[in-house]
Chain A
Amino acid sequence: MTSTAGETGGTRSQKDDASRLKRLARAAGVLYLAIFVVYPLSTMVRSTLVVPGDAAATAQNIAESETLFRWGMAGEVTIFLIEIVLAAVLYALLRPVSRALSLGASLARVAEGVVMAAGNVFTSILTLVAVGGAGYLAVFSAEQQDALALFFQEANDYVVLTWGFFFALSLLLTGWLVYRSGFFPKIPGVLLMLAGIGYFAQSYGTFVAPGLTDVLETVVLVLAIPGELVFALWLLIKGVDEEKWQASALEADRTRL
């Protein structure tokens, strides 16, 4: 009887673990898809309002469409909050492969979120202050206030490249972990690593060779979307191979790595 009860308890425990694992994978997929939708919407808002090089038009657009601009900021805030949760979820999912690399990937993702918050959101706040017309800004001429708004928005572009380094590192490590996992297929891993290479190319390339900005932006678009999207859909629809994940987890516990 005892033996039977133990077996039943073990089966239930394994079922619970499998269910938790499935929920975790699904949560990661949902978070990834949320980023896939929200981030481009936020950047599209910026693209429509900011006129590169034209401070007056930029400041006027932002002042006249302040609500839209604030929604864009809200989107960015949403992204970095999602990134932090996603970092934790992916850490839990990929820990059996390598605790150290999984931690590295998650830390890089958290760093990306922090830079995004400290950079993109902050520069947008400063932009709003610049176009806000507060009385003390009267020490600047109208042209100078407009220039400030554009200055912060152009700085924003470089902040994107800065968090791009951390994001690229996170993708490379995540891709490697997925590739080596055995409980995910190898293809999403390869695609994620390619996405990481794309982001590295964009961030390094734009700093080193600004003339290639257009090409690099296209490269990252082509390389990044397939990797992240395939991985997100796999997490959402197929999840992880639970038996192999359990085996990896046991092995990791045994070796403490």
Chain B
Amino acid sequence: MRALRNIAFGVLIVAVLIVGFVAQAGSYLFGFTSQAAEPQSADTELAPFADAGDHPVGVRTLGADIAPIPLTVWYPALEPPIRDSSLTYAYAINMLSADSTTAIATYEGDAEPGAAYDLDDGPFPLVVLSHGFAITASSYGWLAEHLASHGMVVVAPHHHESLDPGGLWQSTFDRPQEVQMVLSFVEEEAGPGVEFEGLIDSETIAVVGHSYGGYTALAAGGARLDTGAFNAACDAAYATDDPLVFLCDALAPRLVDIAGAAGIGSVPAGLWPSWSAREVDAVVSMAGDAAMFGEPGLEEITVPVLAIGGTADTDSPFQWGTELTYDHVSSDRKIEVALNGAAHLVFAGDCTSVRRILSLVSLGFCSDPAWDRTEAHILVKNYVTAFLLAELTDDQAATTALSSGLHQRSDVGYRAEGY
């Protein structure tokens, strides 16, 4: 009896110790490293559009009580910020639910929250920035600030989703509709006597997106789903165990649900109806998904397109996203930028301070197999800014730079037509 009691006592203590150690480790590993004393810097001499523009930047968040869906807006501001690094952005994912974000890392930004709009130099072109699936809009603050500093108003809708592949079909339908809602809202608010009067030129529009945001941008640019092409791509992917099977598993069985949400009686055998009611002037797809459009769906795009992606991307494979997009859009002007060896999340937030666990376990959120994150972001800023300036503002320097490939590097593939 006494022996049994001792054994039970021992087991209890061991169990408590295990829980305690796990909790201690969790408490430590889920904490954040402190901010780096000096932000990493990289040479931008060969990337002229990666330098911040002349405009001070402000940032505001519009809640669902004002806008059709919550929005973060970065814009040219009247006055420079009171101090550098005036706010911190979270690179975060809606991991457990659509309303609760889990920050992966944080990084400093220079935008001034609530700064006055620069109405003297406006109105400015509109850039709708669509975040990746279940990634927050603030994860792209580094890019949004940069574009705003070059004289664009960046409006980022907060797509309501959590990191559950089972919800991808819903996002496939919702996201293009949400972009249309945002465009309508901005147009209304850009009118006389309302929020964005004098700030936004709602007739000059680009849509930029990362990952599923890339899909969203392409859909806004006129791309249409194509069932036959998607199924053929999935058949090929299953045969070769291509990473595209993730998207196929999530979407193919739910096409009927998407059709239901879209109010279509049955799943079309080929092209679906267009979900881009408003014409846009340019599209940027960063590591964007495109297999669901296939060749016929992408051919519907006639506006200028910049497709940029990493060749080692296993979430939105380069072949089925960036390359497919460039090869098949009907645009007169189009560009493909390939970051050789880069993975999927190199386009998401900066990682100045990260959860300690990411220092020990590489989950790909803040690390890339081939690229230094700062350097990759410089290139992304460079190409995206030059492309948008060329297309939205007829900036001749940007157009000339694009025609020369913006100083090509051996680790960057560049293809262009029309420049």
Binding site for B on A (CB under 8 A): 33, 36-37, 40-41, 43-44, 47-48, 51-54, 56-57, 60-61, 64-65, 141-143, 210-211, 213-214, 217, 221, 225, 229, 233, 236-237
Contact = CB atoms under 8 A, between A and B. Distances in A.
B32 interface: yes
Contacts of A65: 100
Interface in B82-131: 87-90, 92, 97, 99-103, 106, 108, 113-114
B23 A44 contact: yes
Given A36-B16, A47-B32, 14 more contacts: A33-B16, A36-B17, A37-B23, A41-B27, A48-B102, A53-B35, A53-B353, A54-B89, A57-B138, A61-B101, A64-B99, A211-B34, A221-B24, A225-B24
Given A37-B19, A52-B32, A57 B103 contact: yes
Contacts of A57: 90, 92, 101, 103, 136, 138
Given A54-B106, A57-B136, A214 B90 contact: no
B260 interface: no
Given A40-B20, A64-B99, A51 B90 contact: yes
Given A53-B106, A142-B61, A233 B23 contact: no
B19 A214 contact: no
A213 B23 contact: no
B30 interface: yes
B27 A233 contact: no
Given A37-B19, A142-B61, A213-B34, A44 B90 contact: no
A51 B103 contact: yes
Interface residues of B, number: 37
B13 interface: yes
Interface string B245-282: 00000000000000000000000000000000000000
A249 B271 CA distance: 90
Contacts of B138: 54, 56-57
B194 interface: no
Which of A52, A65, A225: most chain B Cβ within 10 A? A52
A236 B13 contact: yes
Contacts of B24: 36, 40, 221, 225
B99 to A, nearest CB: 4
Nearest to B97: A64
A225 B20 CA distance: 10
A192 to B, nearest CB: 17
Contacts of B102: 48
Contact of A47 (B27, B33, B61): B27
Contacts of A211: 34, 37
B364 interface: no
Nearest to A56: B61
A210 B34 CA distance: 9
Given A51-B101, A52-B353, A217-B31, A44 B92 contact: no
A161 B103 CA distance: 24
B31 A47 contact: yes
B317 to A, nearest CB: 31
B369 interface: no
Interface in B22-47: 23-24, 26-28, 30-35, 37
A217 B108 CA distance: 22
A257 to B, nearest CB: 36
A142 B60 CA distance: 11
A60 B30 contact: no
Contacts of A47: 27, 30-32
A143 B114 contact: yes
13 contacts: A33-B13, A37-B16, A37-B19, A43-B27, A44-B30, A51-B88, A51-B106, A61-B100, A64-B100, A142-B61, A211-B37, A214-B33, A237-B13
Contacts of B20: 33, 36-37, 40, 229
B63 interface: yes
A61 B37 CA distance: 27
A230 B100 CA distance: 38
A33 B35 CA distance: 33
A44 B136 contact: no
Nearest to B65: A142
Contact of A44 (B27, B106, B108): B27
A160 B106 CA distance: 22
A41 B23 contact: yes
B103 to A, nearest CB: 4
A114 to B, nearest CB: 23
Contacts of B89: 54
B90 to A, nearest CB: 4
B88 A52 contact: yes
Nearest to B104: A51
A143 B61 contact: yes
Contacts of A37: 16, 19-20, 23
Contacts of A213: 34
A48 B104 CA distance: 10
A142 B63 contact: yes
B27 A54 contact: no
Most buried by A among B33, B99, B101, B136: B101
Contacts of B30: 44, 47-48
